[in-house]
Structures are given as C-alpha cells and as structure tokens.
Amino acid sequence: MKKNILKTIIENVKTIFYALIIAVIIRSLFFQPFYIPSSSMEPTLLIGDRIFVAKYTYGYSKHSFPFSPPFFSNRILNKSPKYGDLVVFKTPADNRTDYIKRLIGLPGDTIQFKNGKLFLNNKEILRKKVDSAYKIRCASFLPDVIAYKETLPNGKEYVAVYNEEGTMQNTDEYKVPQNHFFFLGDNRDCSKDSRYLSSVGYVSNENLVGNAKMIFFSNDTISGSIFKFWNLDQSLRIKRFFKLLKWQNF
C-alpha cells in the first residue's frame, strides 16, 4: 500500500516537472503573456489588456529566458525589428523591468520633436488628424487630447495622441547609437520612453524580448472587477478579445 502511494506521488511530481519544463520552453522560445499596467500606449493598448508576445521574432538573447540567465551574450538567430513594431524590452536602467513601446528609431537614425511635430532623419513624420472619441488616461487624469494617424517611412500606420495643452513641443536631437533602438509611447505626453535618457534612453538589441502580436483578454480594472459578476458589462472589453495587433490601430 505504501509503495503504491509513493509511486503515485513520484509519478505526480514527474508530471508536474515535465509540465513546467514544457511551459518554460513555450514561454522562452515561442509566446509569452504580458499584462498592460499603464496608459503609456493608449489608444493602442489599454490598462488591463493581456497580450501575447512572440519571442522568436527578433531571435533570442538571455532576456528571452526567465531571470535572464547569462548563458550567452548578444543574440542568436538575430532579426532586426522594423519601424512601428510594438516591442517588449527590458529597460536599460535595470535590465529587469519589462516595457512595451513603439519602435520609432533604428541604429544611426536621428529623432527630434519640433513645434510638437515628430521628425525622423530631419523629415517630418506624416500625420493626419483623426476624429475620435478616445478617453485617454494619464494616471488618474483624463486629459483632452488630439489624435493623429502617423505614417512611418515603411508605411506602418498607427494612432498617437498628444495633450491639447502641455504637450512636448521641442526636444534636443536624439542620435541612435549602433546596435540600439529608439522607442516612443503612443500616448506621447504620458509615456516614459527613449526621450528620457536617464531612465530608459536607447535600448540595446540584446534587451529586446519580443513583438506583441495579439490581445487575448482585456478588462477595465478601473471601471469594474471581473470578480463582481453583476458588473461584467463595465469590466470586460469583449471586443478586444483575440484582437490582432496589426499595423493599423484606428
């Protein structure tokens, strides 16, 4: 009897161990879920969105694996990201915190804001004002914003929003170093991104984690809780379930 119990326990432990190994492999090499905790990427990504990120898109670095083990340096099977990609990366400040932003600058590019307009390599990024009913958050505030459809040099389009008052009008020129990238949040005046050199700045190729592909679940954590079943109509954003993150997010 005791032998049977011991055998059952061993078999269960082995099953759990194998399941964990498979989960780690899938998470490290293929897809990893992430939660969106801030409004820096609104209106593309909302607080409470859960997304799947493809780990294989740009190849693999130590940051592809849990706890970033120093098995190797740089990247293997390296593939370069493209303008407009939604990229999860480890912040250079601590090489631990995950951020998601939109890629605006490649190695060697210059980026600058002039009179509130975005310039890439001294050419103004094409943008067109769009009518919207977006309720954009910035912490506990709901600022009045102007929404623009911006078009990057490779044709990728997305919506970025700027505060009607207090928007960043002019900046120094940012020169992206080799093997690094420059990222911006779509919620331009409520995003800590590559403009803030002391906390984020230019992101090394090694720090890239993956490319956001799909929203698989979304609930408004401010308007309601999924545990309050009588309030689900205010909490669950069913229209965002399994939404592919394509070029056009408007």
Which ranges of the chain have pLDDT less than 70? Answer: 1-3, 23-24, 222-234, 247-250
Q: How many angstroms separate the CA atoms of 146 and 118, rounded?
A: 14
* 168-186 pLDDT per residue, tens: 889 999 999 999 999 999 9
How far apart CA 25 and CA 110 sit, in angstroms, is 38
Residue with tokens 């061993």: 10
For residues 82 and 7, what is the distance between their CA atoms, to the nearest angstrom? 53
Q: How far apart are CA 226 and CA 222, in angstroms?
A: 11
Condensed to tens digits (0 to 9), the pLDDT of residues 39-78 reads 999 999 999 999 999 999 999 999 998 889 988 888 999 9
pLDDT of residue 89: 98
Question: What share of the chain in percent tops pLDDT 90?
Answer: 68
- Cβ neighbors of 206 (< 8 A, separation 6 or more) are 61, 62, 63, 73, 74, 75
Residues forming the active site = 40, 101
Residue 234 has what pLDDT?
64
DSSP state of 240: G
Q: What is the pLDDT of residue 1?
A: 64
> Of 198, 165, 166, 200, which Cα lies nearest the Cα of 181?
200
Q: Under CATH, what is the fold of the domain 2-66+73-244?
A: Umud Fragment, subunit A (2.10.109)
